[in-house]
Amino acid sequence: MQASSSKVHSSQAGVHPGLPALVKRHASSSWRKPAQQVDLPALDLLDKALDKHRGPVVLDSFCGTGQSTAILAARYDNALVIGVDKSSHRLDRRHAAPDNSLFLQAHCEAIWRHLVAREQKLLAHYLLYPNPWPKPGHLSRRVHGHPAFPLILALGGYVELRSNWQVYVEECGVALHLLGQPSRIAVVPGDQEALTLFEHKYRESGHQLWSVTATLP
């Protein structure tokens, strides 16, 4: 990872005008993309871990090298804390983490769908610094613009998404609002321990960091 990082540049200055229609369309249908072969081993590992654990579950989606997974596993020490990232490159360099953590190489959307199908609710779900996809045409690649977004609501629990792009967290807050969920947008305090490698890098580069949080039923 580079030592410093440039701020997100986008021709989009505020919430994408197409967001409400997209979120409502996704909420009125289920995401039907078939499971990808590449995700099947992770889904199998997930089943085995959940069958064994049968307690509270915390999800760390887009965990990268898993610094946040390790911190969250220490914080939620009676929960199974699952870090998910699609990149073997990132996961191969993962942090040492407590025994109550599990790392899965998979697409997060596939994990969300599998958990919903198992009727597994979450105690908490962290989505820390997902790729911003700053081009307006990339709206549907952002977490809240993706057809799998309603699955996040179905998983319940405390949800926290962080980004160094204010528009991203505002859009996520609007998407939650459109689906009837109140949320809170705030600046991530700069004096807290960095939860992730990217958070650390963004702080070192002088970026303002934003969070959107919600407590889902």
* Interaction site with ligand SAM (CB under 6 A): 62-64, 84-87, 90, 107-109, 128-131, 196-199
Least CB distance from residue 38 to ligand SAM, whole Å? 11
CA distance 159 to 215: 6
Q: Find the shortest distance in angstroms from Cβ 205 to ligand SAM.
A: 13
CB 173, CB 142: distance < 8 Å: no
Q: In the complex, which residue's CB is closest to ligand SAM?
A: 64
What gap in Å lies between CA 37 and CA 127, rounded to an integer?
A: 24
List helix spans (H) across 28-118: 40-53, 67-75, 88-92, 108-117
Q: Which is nearer to ligand SAM, 3 or 78 (CB)?
A: 3
- Closest separation between CB of residue 54 and ligand SAM, Å? 25
Nearest distance from C-beta of residue 51 to ligand SAM, angstroms: 23
Q: Find, among 111, 210, 113, 136, the residue nearest to 169 by Cα.
A: 210
Cβ closer to ligand SAM: 177 or 205?
205
